[in-house]
Amino acid sequence: MFNPLLMVTSRNTTDGDTTPQDYIAFYPLTGTAEDVTGDYDGTEVNELSYIDDTARGSVANFTINSKVTTSLTLGTTSSVTFWAYITDATNLNALFGYIPLEQQSFLTFDYAVLVNGVWVVKLPDGEKICPNTNEWYFITIIDDGSNIEIRTNDSARTNEYTGTSMNGMQLNTLGYQDTDSIDNLEGMLSSMRIYDRALTAEEVTTIYNYELANHHIAVDDGLIAYYPLHNNSMDNYFNQYDCTDNGSITYDGLSANFDGSSYIETINPIDTGSTSYSISCWFKTDADIHNVVLLDSSNILWFDGNTKWTYYDGTDNREFTSYVPQPYTLYYITLVIDNELASLYLDSTFIQTVACTTHILNSTLTMGCFADHSYYVTGELSNLRIYNRAITEAEIITVYNAEKGEFE
C-alpha cells in the first residue's frame, strides 16, 4: 500500500539535511518557480498560483491551463524527484512535459513516461503513478542510461516497457503536456529535484524520509512556524523560519537532542505580528540544574531548575509558581500569551495565568540556551509550534491527545 504524505515537509538545505545535494536543478515551488541553483529558473504561465497547503506548506497550484516553463536538458543518465497531488483525475494530468526534436514526450498521472511517442515506462492496466486523488505522493523517475524506473513514495513500480533513455530531452514544462490543454495537470506540485545521474534506491529513501513527517497537524489555524525536530531543524510549515544547528545537535527520528553545549537558532527573526501568540512543544531535561532554557528569544520561556517555569515578556520575569517542574520528565508545554495575560499548560492541564506586559514576538528564536548562548540544555525537544494567536484550552487538549502516543 502506498502511504500518502500526511504532514508538512521541508524544502531547502540546512543542517541535518542528508539528502543528495548534487542536483543540477531544484524547484521548491514554495512561492516562486526559481531554481535554487540559479541555473534553470522557471517561468509561471497563465493561472499558476501558490497556496498554503496544510500538508506541504506553500506549494504550486495548477489549473488546466497553468504551467511552469524551463529550459533544462537531460543527459545520458538522470533522476527526477517531486511531490504530486492530483485533484481531478478526469484527464491524464501531465506532471511534466518534454518536446525533444518536435516529438511528444511527457510523464502523466495515469500511464507514466512517454518518450518520442513511445511508452518507455507504463504501469499495468488499472494502476496509476498517484494511486488516489487528493493525496500527496512522492514520485521518482530514474534513468540509468538503458532502463527507466519509476517509484511511488518509497516503492518501485512494475514497468511494462524498458530499454529507452531520456537522454537529450529538454524539460519544457511542469504541469503541462505542452501540446494541448486536454491532459494537463489539475493539482499541486512541490519540491522537484533533478539530477544528472541515476539515484540509488537508498538515496531515494533518504529523500523520501527526509521530506516525510509521520503525523498531521491537529491545529493549524494561525500556525506560523512548525519544527518537528525529528531529523533536522527546518520550519516545516511555511518554510520561512529555518534554523541552523550549533554544536552537537543530534536527531533520533523523534526529537532533537541537546548535549549541554549546543543550541538551535532561527536564521531570520520570527514575527508573530500580534501581542497574542502561543508556543507549544514536547520537552524533557536530563539534568537537575537551574536555568535550563527551553526556548529563548530574550528569555521567552525557561525552566528554573526544580523551582518554577518563568516567562520573560521583554520587561520582566513572570513566574509560574503553582507547579514545581521535575527533571527527567517529558512534558507537553504550551505557553499562551493573550495580550496582558500569560498562561501555562503542562500536558493538557492548565497550570496558572499571570499578568504580563504586552509584547510582540519579533526576534531570533534560540532553542537550548539563552540568547547570549549561556545556560545550555541537556535534554530533548520535539514538535515545536508557534501560533500568531492565543490558542484555546480545547485546542491544546486536541494536540496533546493527537501526539502523546508518539512518546509513550
- CATH number, domain of 334, equals 2.60.120.200
Domain count, the chain: 2
Residues 301 and 273 in one domain: yes
User: What's the pTM value of the predicted model, to 2 decimals?
Assistant: 0.56
Residue 5 lies in a domain: no
- Quick one: which H or E segment has residue 40? none
Residue 371 class from Cβ within 10 Å (0-12 exposed, 13-18 middle, 19+ buried)? Answer: middle
CA distance linking residue 88 with residue 264, whole number of Å: 41
Q: Is pLDDT larger for residue 104 or for residue 79?
A: 79
Model pLDDT, residue 46: 79
As a whole number of angstroms, the distance between CA 276 and CA 196 comes to 48
Which residue is it, cell 543540477?
24
Contacts 24+ apart (CB under 8 A), 350-353: 350/393, 351/309, 351/320, 351/322, 351/323, 352/320, 352/321, 352/322, 352/323
Q: What is the sign of the dihedral through the CA atoms of 318, 323, 329 and 334?
A: negative
Q: Are residues 47 and 95 in the same domain?
A: yes
Per-residue confidence (pLDDT) for residue 305, from 0 to 100: 62
Position 1 in a domain: no
- Same domain for 198 and 237? no
Residues linked to residue 309 through DSSP beta bridges, in sequence order: 303, 320
Which is more confidently placed, 113 or 328?
A: 328
In a domain, 276, yes or no: yes
- 366 in the same domain as 229: yes
Strand, coil or helix: what is 244?
strand
Q: What is the DSSP letter of 101?
A: G
Do residues 354 and 321 both lie within one domain?
Answer: yes
| Closest C-alpha to 263, from 297, 220, 212, 290 | 297
pLDDT for the residue 316: 86
- If asked whether residues 358 and 319 sit together in one domain, one would say yes
- What residues contact residue 344 under an 8 Å CB cut-off, 6+ apart? 309, 311, 320, 323, 333, 334, 335, 336, 351, 352, 353
> By the 8 A CB rule, do 298 and 371 touch?
yes
Q: What is the pLDDT of residue 3?
A: 27
Residue 136 has pLDDT above 50, yes or no: yes
- Which pLDDT does position 179 carry in this prediction? 52
Mean pLDDT taken over the chain: 76
In the numeric block, the cell 518537528 is attached to 228
Residue-wise pLDDT for 138-164, tens only, equals 888 888 888 878 888 877 776 655 556
The answer to whether the CB of 204 falls within 8 A of the CB of 20 is no
Ranking 6-10, 88-92, 386-390 by mean pLDDT, the lowest is 6-10
Mean pLDDT (whole number) for 170-178: 66
| 311 DSSP β-pair partners | 301, 318
Asked whether 233 and 18 are in contact (CB, 8 A), the reply is no
Q: Which letter does DSSP use for residue 48 in this model?
A: -
Q: Residue 57's domain spans which residues?
A: 25-211
Assigned domain for 11 exists: no
**Whole-number pLDDT of residue 38:** 82
The reply to whether 278 and 373 lie within a common domain is yes
Residue 40 scores a pLDDT above 90: no
Contact, 225 vs 386, CB < 8 A? yes
Can you tell me whether residue 116 is helix, strand or coil? coil
DSSP class of residue 115 equals E
Q: What is the pLDDT of residue 337?
A: 92
21, burial (CB in 10 Å: exposed 0-12, middle 13-18, buried 19+): exposed
Length of the chain: 408
Say how far apart CA 408 and CA 397 lie, in whole Å. 16
